[in-house]
Amino acid sequence: MKKYMLLLILLFIVVPIISTAEKSKNKKTKKEICISFDELPVAVGFQDVDRDAVTYLILQALKKYDIKAVGFVVGEQINESFDVLGQWLNGGHKLGNMTYSNQDLNQLGIKQFIDDIKHGEKELDIMLQGFGQKKKYFRYPYLHYGNTARKKEQVTLYLDSKQYRVVPATVVIEDYLYNMSLDKMGKQPDTTVYFALMNEYINHVLDEIEASEGLSVEVLGRPCKQILKLRANRINAVFLDEMLGAIKELGYKFISVDKALKDKAFHRPEAYFGAGTVNYLEMLKNSDADFLPAE
């Protein structure tokens, strides 16, 4: 009898401990991701794109998964796409500035690039004010933050003075290459080839997310809130529903850009001056130690 009483006592002691451990484990493995789109209203490619169709499919997929995304607008396209961009704002999504002409900072002078930001802001602000969006977001074209310390510093100072929130990306997808493959299929692609491309592309996205999770632990010592960078193009319009479903199956919660940017990872000192397009975690990893504050 004493033996069974002892077992019962042990069970009551052990069970709460296991339960607490499981809760702690679940808390630690919480996965969150923000969805962002570049080159709104629609990314310019080698073929004409139906802006209304691309916008409709993207917004329908976002609505299905109750996602509030952020999109970055190329200013020179605003006038001819006012109604299209209005659909994003009506859907509760945020819009940000991606300069007026979407030119590469690494190939421009400081003043020329800042003037491009100003021009893009002037075009976008009228729309944002009309829809009541007060916060200002910015994304560097091609994720190029400047290939010299001075260039990077001066542009950063300007953006800070205008209270812009720079939105980096931790997951960068080679969607333009897959989009070219889709374009080559024509308007009526072979079904087998079409679905093969879809599977290949979605697996590429999932692989990049997984790689970013590993890099986050390597660089930060912990998982961070992820920010996925996509272009507003045809492939992301036709495959977005399936892509978001696959991401959700991995256990991710979709979050807003404001919630993502609260992660302390995006407030760490960074000094990357490379010419290539890399994600934010790679920028942290490859920062020039001579330009970082002493620990």
Q: What is the rounded average pLDDT for all residues in the chain?
A: 90
Distance CA 34, CA 31 (A): 11
What gap in Å lies between CA 206 and CA 247, rounded to an integer?
A: 7
State yes or no: pLDDT of 104 exceeds 60. Answer: yes
Neighbours of 67 (CB within 10 A): 21
pLDDT at 94 over 50: yes
> Taking Cα atoms as reference points, which of 31, 86, 37, 30 lies closest to residue 61?
37
d(CA 169, CA 119): 24
Encode burial over 119-140: b for 16+ CB neighbours within 10 A, e otherwise.
Answer: bbbebbeebbeeeebeebbbbb
Which stretches of 65-99 are DSSP H helices?
A: 82-90
**Nearest alpha-carbon partner for 254 in 26, 63, 33:** 33
Q: Mean pLDDT across the stretch 24-31?
A: 59
Tell me what pLDDT residue 294 has.
75
Res 186: pLDDT: 83
Task: Say how far apart CA 220 and CA 213 lie, in whole Å.
Answer: 10
CA-CA distances (angstroms) from residue 14 to 24, 27, 54, 294? 15, 20, 55, 46
87 CB burial (10 A radius; 0-12, 13-18, 19+): middle
Q: What is the pLDDT of residues 143-188, one digit of tens each?
A: 999 999 999 999 999 999 999 999 999 999 999 999 999 999 987 8
Give the chain's length.
295
Q: What is the pLDDT of residue 275?
A: 87
Instruction: Provide CB contacts within 8 A for 82, sequence distance 6+.
Output: 127
Question: pTM for this structure?
Answer: 0.89
Give all domains of the chain, ordered by start, each with its CATH number.
Answer: 32-291 (3.20.20.370)
- Over the stretch 2-22, which tens digit does the pLDDT of each residue have? 443 443 333 333 334 333 333
